[in-house]
């Protein structure tokens, strides 16, 4: 279909209002911002756009389009689908870029399509590099099931191979093996049985000293040739293999291609041969122990300029001398880029010629699928690439300035710390102690590492007088006098950075000038180097700690010669270092000192100039402006250009969200809203931000924020009188309803959904069907089966009319479940497979059942509903739905005291969730499994399981919800282990999460009872009483029988601690009765056990007898369930 007739003239990519990327991923960019992934949740508009982008001449008869996209539909239904797809596509693109005129569909000529650009470049011998750069992968890999794409996909693969092979030959002739080798591998991905590229790849690998890789490639070539029908390798390939084997091809002596220690020293300290480390003998013992073990983690904590990085680099030297591979990465301040420091680590390793690995973060440029699935793939890729880097040796990862880490990076560090022994990883991070504050990603990371005993914290102190004297001798090149050393020490107070700055100033001026602070000393030293240096460094300070001289140069006002001369000066003065990948300030304090002294108007003008230069440079490369969106947003905002910052912030938010950086995306969207008024943002632009922010907040389980964002989206307006249409309001109201459901507010959610349904009656069927489905789910869970059946059948009818068999199947499933409760026959139709759908960002059934466990419903009634759902899921072969049912069955069995059954169900549910890629379900199953093991007395095994649960929760939707409940369960586990302070730390984490998560009965039910226990264990009865009162207030709300039982037990504990034994026993027996009424046998027995203790403590003979009876009954129940006594 492609290649027959392409546009005569391609639109300029930079100027195109719409850019369509089909090679390697499906992505559409409107202006400079990618259209969010969630906008394409329906296949229909995406399929139509892809079809028109590939159509000859960008035109296609209407009937041909219907036949290709909906071959099974009759004419009228196909036409309805087409018109609906056209409408949806125009809404998404914001214009009539695909139109229907006189029976012909046309794609507007101003739309840029990467396939067109690729084919044009592939046909020109002078543009082969451009063609290869454009071919980012197979055509529309997300839609491999579309039969109509098979032929164009195969044709484009052949065109790529035809363009890439001659380019690889040219690169090989120019001895550019670093680019030729990966290109040849891409050619062989298309045609593994092509012998010419196989031979060229074998030769290049051998010539670059990779003899073992060359021999492996020759063997792989032979296998591929035989699989392709050949009788074996040609004589040329066989002869080449023999020549490589004999050592006749390639260098006679292999050289070390990568020196990680010197690389790290150069990029972090400014020199590959740093001066001797002084005054750190005790700290080095910890590094020697780490290297000896070959795995583990150290976090170096201290103030700025105290020498944390120098110590970490010394550890890298020790590790490399012991045979480890060293990699280093830096986190940058003010740039919330997901996985920033780790991406820097891999890119530096590959840039420096490191072997055996690819960049695991490259796939983030082509996001596909839900966030939790993307993140799981990324974690697996990082794990695999680190194993490949090591090749059986330990790997030393040096991560500098981890206090600037984004949340995604903190989660990845936590994951790798848990895998350190298996991967033979030594993780060493430097962290500024004053930057660790509540809510920061690094604070969460340090809490996890401490609670799970995954890392050791090392506080790096200032140097003493003797060590300062030794450092001075290194800097000055001669031993200082006792008086001079003492004067330096009094001036610097042992700060290695300040000592270095004063020593360099002393060497340059010949006398010791002591400024009032380190920043003043830095500025004085820079000023002495002259006006050109000041101009260069002020512009560089605005650009950031790392800067591109070509971007900075236009902002300096210097000529090219003057700028280069100033650069030579600062390099010689060791104010700026160069590491092969660019330039950076020798220390962040240097940059901060210069930036802080800039007057506000001068600072804004420099930010504006840097932004202009960066934007011009970015616009010259494909996708450059999108890649630079975060930096451009930072500079435009600091330059007081809100109208330009707004669009870049929106783009940066979309990119971060697409790359699983939800917290980072939330920050960009919130900053966009903060400047929306000053930017004069239109109603549609504000709606886009509110919807995107609401989706991210919902994924993070920031429920109050999500509710607020969706409500603002439904009611947004602008000065021109624009308001959202019915379908846009429906989406916003449904998002608000999901936020309410996640918090257990079913009645409020129903109000939102009913208002959404009223709007949907005026809109399209897509929104009606999805709204009806959610209403049916809610009605069924709330025990209104007739209403559920009515909504579900209507959902199925609407979905069938829309050509959405999966949603229709989900509707019919709910109708069948409701009919069974009513004693009526199920719908006769056999629905299509129906797993959880894209219209719901989390498993609604799982969340509603979670809240039911903390509500009024007795466990037997809940179990009956779960069993019905399970039978339906098993009959329909829906593994994720079956996993949800098994997880809930396990949770119910756990509460009922049937621990063997619960364990079997939870372990199987975890496996099903893991296979299906549901991180939320996996986190829930692991949370309950950890609680079960703790009940049995296997507290350390339980803690290990809960640690796995935290890892799953860190990539899950409803992230703060999943993490909050896990941290509360960790607190319970630590209390049972007798580790009170660890339990308190876990609750501190849970409290911080709950503050952003909002009121959630499930989280309160797990968190507040443990808070009461910890406060009592720490000897704070007043705080425990306050926590019990808060739990009682929450239990007073309708639907709080389970919370009421928990509240009575908590109050009983407080009364017992106050030695009010009679009221304590009464409260605890009330709690036991309430638990028993709900079917929660374990909680009932434990409450009776506590009541017996209270009665026994009262000391009255009749009470002691009663206590013994209670204790025997409770002990028998707990022993029968296999539950260990409570500590």
> Token pair 């996996």 is at which residue?
922
CATH of domain 842-981: 1.25.40.10
pLDDT on residue 5 = 46
560: confidence class by pLDDT, cuts 50, 70, 90: low
Evaluate whether the domain defined by 18-155 bears CATH number 1.10.540.10. Answer: no
Q: Phi-psi category of 299—alpha, beta or left, where left has phi over 0 and alpha has psi -120 to 50?
A: beta
**Residue 594 is inside which H or E element, if any?**
helix 588-596
Q: HEC string of 779-812?
A: HHHCCCHHHHHHHHHHHHHHHHHHCCHHHHHHHH
> Of 640-644, 708-712, 802-806, where does mean pLDDT reach its minimum?
802-806
Q: Do residues 702 and 724 lie in contact, with contact meaning Cβ atoms separated by under 8 Å?
A: no
Q: Is the pLDDT assigned to residue 192 strictly greater than 60?
A: yes
Residues 6+ apart with CB under 8 A from 184: 164, 165, 168, 197, 200, 201, 204
Q: Do residues 272 and 316 lie in contact, with contact meaning Cβ atoms separated by under 8 Å?
A: no
546 - beta bridge partners? 584
The per-residue pLDDT for range 461-514, each reduced to its tens digit, is 999 999 999 989 888 888 888 988 888 888 888 989 888 888 887 776 666 665
Q: Do residues 22 and 107 lie in contact, with contact meaning Cβ atoms separated by under 8 Å?
A: no
**For helices 959-976 and 683-700, angle between their N-to-C axes, nearest 10 degrees:** 20
Q: Is 322 exposed, middle or buried (0-12, 13-18, 19+ CB in 10 A)?
A: middle
Buried b vs exposed e over 335-348: b needs ≥16 C-beta within 10 Å?
A: bbbbbbbbbbbbeb
Q: Is the pLDDT assigned to residue 1101 strictly greater than 50?
A: yes
854 φ, ψ to 5°? -95, 10
Q: Do residues 547 and 540 lie in contact, with contact meaning Cβ atoms separated by under 8 Å?
A: yes
- Among 506, 499, 620, 522, smallest CA distance to 570 is for 522
**Per-residue tokens: 1009:** 């009872």
The per-residue pLDDT for range 803-847, each reduced to its tens digit, is 888 889 999 999 999 999 999 988 877 665 556 665 688 999 999
548 φ, ψ to 5°? -100, 120
Q: Is 629 exposed, middle or buried (0-12, 13-18, 19+ CB in 10 A)?
A: buried
Q: HEC string of 729-774?
A: HHHHHHHHHHHHHHCCCHHHHHHHHHHHHHHHCCCCHHHHHHHHHH
Residues 6+ apart with CB under 8 A from 852: 781, 862
CA–CA separation, 231 and 872 (whole Å) = 53
**Residue 546 is inside which H or E element, if any?**
strand 546-547
The greatest distance separating any two alpha carbons of the chain, rounded to the nearest whole angstrom, comes to 101
Q: Do residues 1002 and 965 lie in contact, with contact meaning Cβ atoms separated by under 8 Å?
A: yes
pLDDT on residue 257 = 65
Q: Phi-psi category of 560—alpha, beta or left, where left has phi over 0 and alpha has psi -120 to 50?
A: alpha
**Residue 874 is inside which H or E element, if any?**
helix 859-876
Report the relative pairing of strands 33-34 and 27-30 from DSSP bridges. antiparallel
Please name the fold of domain 260-459: Rossmann fold (3.40.50)
> Over pLDDT 70: what percentage of the chain?
95
255: confidence class by pLDDT, cuts 50, 70, 90: very low
Give the predicted TM-score (pTM) of the model: 0.79
943: confidence class by pLDDT, cuts 50, 70, 90: very high
Query: What class is the 526-598 domain?
Result: mainly alpha
Q: Tell me what the mean pLDDT of segment 60-81 comes to.
A: 84
Q: What is the mean pLDDT of the chain?
A: 89
> Token pair 């080449």 is at which residue?
240
Q: Tell me what the mean pLDDT of segment 716-723 comes to.
A: 82
CA–CA separation, 224 and 242 (whole Å) = 18
Q: Do residues 693 and 669 lie in contact, with contact meaning Cβ atoms separated by under 8 Å?
A: yes
**Residue 479 is inside which H or E element, if any?**
none
Q: Is the pLDDT assigned to residue 1127 strictly greater than 80?
A: no
458 - beta bridge partners? 300
362: confidence class by pLDDT, cuts 50, 70, 90: confident
CA–CA separation, 187 and 193 (whole Å) = 10
The per-residue pLDDT for range 19-57, each reduced to its tens digit, is 999 998 888 998 878 898 778 888 889 999 999 999 999
252: confidence class by pLDDT, cuts 50, 70, 90: low
Q: What is the DSSP letter of 339?
A: T
Q: Do residues 24 and 366 lie in contact, with contact meaning Cβ atoms separated by under 8 Å?
A: yes
CA–CA separation, 193 and 204 (whole Å) = 18
**Residue 139 is inside which H or E element, if any?**
none
Q: How many CA atoms, within 13 angstroms, populate the side-chain half-sphere of residue 1095?
A: 22
**For helices 211-227 and 235-245, angle between their N-to-C axes, nearest 10 degrees:** 160
523: confidence class by pLDDT, cuts 50, 70, 90: confident
- The SS3 of residue 104 is strand
- Among 1070, 953, 1027, smallest CA distance to 407 is for 953
Residues 6+ apart with CB under 8 A from 293: none
pLDDT on residue 336 = 66
CA–CA separation, 1076 and 1071 (whole Å) = 9
Q: Is 508 exposed, middle or buried (0-12, 13-18, 19+ CB in 10 A)?
A: exposed
Question: For the chain, what are the domain ranges?
Answer: 18-155, 260-459, 465-514, 526-598, 765-841, 842-981, 1019-1127
**Residue 1051 is inside which H or E element, if any?**
helix 1041-1057
Q: Is the pLDDT assigned to residue 353 strictly greater than 60?
A: yes
> Distance between the two ends of the chain, CA-based, in angstroms?
72
Q: Is 967 exposed, middle or buried (0-12, 13-18, 19+ CB in 10 A)?
A: buried
Number of neighbours of residue 95 by Cβ within 10 angstroms: 14
> Over pLDDT 90: what percentage of the chain?
58
Q: Do residues 593 and 518 lie in contact, with contact meaning Cβ atoms separated by under 8 Å?
A: yes
Residues 6+ apart with CB under 8 A from 981: none
**Residue 600 is inside which H or E element, if any?**
helix 600-619
Q: Do residues 460 and 311 lie in contact, with contact meaning Cβ atoms separated by under 8 Å?
A: yes
Q: Do residues 294 and 424 lie in contact, with contact meaning Cβ atoms separated by under 8 Å?
A: yes
pLDDT on residue 4 = 47
297 - beta bridge partners? 427
Domains 260-459 and 526-598 are alike in CATH topology: no
For CA atoms 994, 687, 670, 36, the dihedral sign is positive
CA–CA separation, 539 and 535 (whole Å) = 6
- Among 445, 449, 448, smallest CA distance to 437 is for 445
């Amino acid at each position: 279909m492609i290649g027959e007739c392409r546009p005569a003239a391609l639109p300029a990519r930079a100027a195109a209002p719409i850019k369509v990327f089909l090679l390697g991923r499906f992505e559409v960019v409107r202006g400079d911002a990618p259209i969010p992934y969630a906008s394409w949740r329906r296949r229909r508009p995406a399929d139509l756009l892809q079809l028109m982008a590939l159509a000859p001449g960008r035109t296609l008869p209407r009937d041909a389009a219907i036949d290709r996209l909906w071959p099974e539909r009759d004419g009228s239904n196909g036409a309805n689908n087409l018109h609906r797809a056209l409408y949806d596509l125009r809404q998404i693109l914001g214009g009539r870029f695909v139109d229907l005129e006189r029976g012909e569909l046309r794609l507007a000529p101003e739309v840029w399509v990467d396939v067109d650009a690729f084919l044009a470049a592939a046909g020109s011998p002078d543009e082969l590099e451009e063609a290869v750069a454009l071919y980012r992968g197979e055509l529309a890999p997300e839609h491999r099931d579309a039969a109509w794409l098979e032929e164009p996909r195969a044709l484009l693969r052949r065109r790529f191979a035809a363009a890439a092979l001659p380019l690889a030959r040219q690169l090989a002739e120019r001895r550019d093996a670093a680019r030729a080798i990966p290109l040849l591998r891409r050619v062989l991905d298309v045609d593994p049985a092509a012998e010419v590229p196989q031979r060229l790849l074998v030769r290049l690998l051998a010539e670059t000293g990779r003899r073992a890789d060359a021999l492996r490639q020759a063997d792989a070539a032979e296998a591929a040739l035989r699989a392709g029908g050949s009788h074996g390798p040609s004589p040329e390939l066989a002869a080449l293999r023999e020549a490589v084997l004999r050592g006749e091809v390639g260098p006679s002596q292999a050289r070390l291609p990568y020196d990680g220690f010197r690389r790290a020293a150069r990029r972090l300290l400014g020199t590959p041969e740093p001066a001797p480390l002084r005054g750190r003998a005790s700290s080095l013992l910890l590094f020697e122990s780490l290297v000896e073990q070959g795995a583990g983690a150290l976090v170096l904590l201290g103030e700025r300029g105290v020498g944390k990085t120098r110590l970490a680099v010394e550890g890298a030297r020790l590790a490399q001398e012991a045979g480890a591979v060293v990699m280093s990465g830096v986190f940058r301040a003010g740039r919330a880029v997901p996985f920033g420091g780790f991406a820097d680590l891999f890119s530096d390793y590959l840039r420096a010629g490191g072997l055996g690995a690819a960049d695991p973060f490259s796939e983030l440029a082509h996001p596909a699928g839900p966030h939790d699935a993307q993140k799981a793939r990324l974690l697996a890729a990082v794990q695999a690439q680190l194993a490949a880097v090591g090749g059986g040796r330990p790997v030393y990862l040096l991560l500098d300035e981890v206090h600037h880490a984004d949340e995604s990076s903190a989660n990845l560090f936590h994951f790798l710390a848990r895998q350190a022994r298996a991967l033979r990883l030594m993780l060493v991070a430097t962290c500024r102690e004053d930057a660790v504050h509540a809510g920061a990603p690094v604070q969460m990371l340090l809490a996890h590492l401490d609670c799970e005993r995954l890392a050791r914290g090392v506080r790096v102190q200032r140097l003493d007088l003797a060590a300062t004297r030794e450092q001075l001798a290194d800097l000055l090149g001669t031993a200082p006098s006792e008086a001079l050393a003492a004067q330096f020490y009094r001036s610097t107070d042992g700060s290695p950075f300040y000592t270095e700055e004063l020593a360099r100033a002393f060497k340059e001026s010949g006398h010791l000038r002591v400024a009032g602070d380190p920043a003043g000393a830095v500025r004085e030293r820079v000023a002495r180097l002259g006006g050109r240096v000041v101009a260069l460094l002020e512009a560089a300070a605005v650009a950031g700690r790392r800067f591109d001289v070509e971007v900075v140069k236009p902002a300096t006002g210097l000529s090219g010669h003057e700028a280069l001369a100033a650069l030579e000066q600062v390099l010689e003065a060791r104010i700026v270092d160069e590491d092969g990948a660019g330039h950076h300030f020798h220390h962040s304090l240097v940059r901060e000192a210069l930036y802080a002294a800039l007057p506000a108007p001068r600072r804004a003008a420099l930010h504006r100039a840097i932004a202009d230069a960066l934007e011009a440079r970015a616009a010259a490369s494909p996708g450059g402006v999108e890649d630079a969106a975060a930096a451009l947003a930072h500079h435009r905002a600091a330059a007081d250009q809100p109208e330009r910052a707004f669009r870049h912030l929106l783009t940066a938010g979309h990119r971060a969200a697409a790359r699983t950086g939800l917290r980072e995306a939330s920050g960009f969207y919130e900053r966009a809203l903060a400047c929306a008024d000053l930017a004069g943002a239109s109603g549609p632009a504000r709606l886009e931000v509110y919807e995107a922010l609401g989706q991210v907040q919902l994924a993070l389980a920031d429920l109050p924020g999500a509710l607020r964002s969706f409500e603002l989206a439904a009611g947004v307006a602008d000065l021109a009188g624009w308001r959202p249409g019915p379908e846009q309001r429906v989406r916003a109201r449904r998002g608000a309803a999901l936020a309410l459901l996640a918090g257990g507010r079913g009645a409020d959610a129903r109000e939102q959904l009913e208002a959404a349904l009223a709007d949907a009656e005026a809109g399209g069927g897509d929104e009606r069907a999805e709204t009806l489905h959610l209403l049916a789910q809610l009605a069924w869970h709330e025990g209104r089966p007739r209403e559920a059946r009515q909504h579900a059948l209507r959902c199925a009818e609407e979905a069938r009319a829309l050509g959405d068999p999966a949603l229709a199947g989900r509707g019919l499933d709910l109708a069948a479940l409701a009919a069974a409760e009513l004693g009526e026959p199920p719908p006769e139709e056999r629905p299509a497979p129906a797993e959880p759908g894209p219209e719901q960002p989390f498993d609604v059934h799982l969340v509603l059942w979670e809240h039911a466990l903390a509500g009024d419903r007795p466990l037997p009634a809940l179990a009956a509903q779960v069993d019905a759902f399970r039978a339906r899921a098993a009959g329909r072969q829906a593994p994720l739905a079956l996993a949800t049912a098994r997880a809930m069955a396990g949770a119910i069995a756990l509460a009922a005291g049937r621990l063997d059954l619960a364990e079997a169900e939870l372990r199987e549910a975890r496996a099903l969730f893991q296979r299906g890629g549901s991180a939320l379900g996996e986190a829930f199953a692991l949370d309950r499994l950890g609680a079960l093991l703790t009940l049995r007395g296997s507290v350390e095994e339980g803690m290990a399981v809960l640690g796995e649960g935290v890892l799953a929760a860190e990539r899950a939707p409803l992230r703060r919800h999943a993490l909050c409940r896990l941290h509360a369960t960790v607190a319970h586990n630590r209390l049972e282990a007798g580790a009170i302070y660890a339990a308190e730390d876990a609750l501190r984490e849970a409290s911080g999460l709950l503050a952003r998560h909002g009121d959630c009965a499930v989280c309160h039910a797990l968190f507040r009872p443990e808070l009461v226990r910890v406060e009592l264990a720490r000897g704070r009865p007043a705080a425990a009483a306050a926590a019990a009162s808060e739990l009682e207030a929450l239990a007073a709300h309708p639907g709080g029988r389970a919370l009421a039982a928990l509240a009575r037990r908590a109050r009983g504990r407080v009364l017992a601690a106050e030695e009010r034994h009679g009221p304590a026993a009464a409260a605890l027996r009330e709690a036991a009765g309430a638990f028993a009424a709900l079917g929660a046998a374990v909680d009932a027995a434990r409450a009776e056990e506590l009541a017996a203790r209270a009665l026994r403590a009262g000391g009255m003979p009749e009470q002691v007898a009663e206590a013994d009876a209670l204790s025997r009954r409770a002990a028998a129940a707990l022993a029968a369930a296999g539950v260990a006594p409570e500590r």
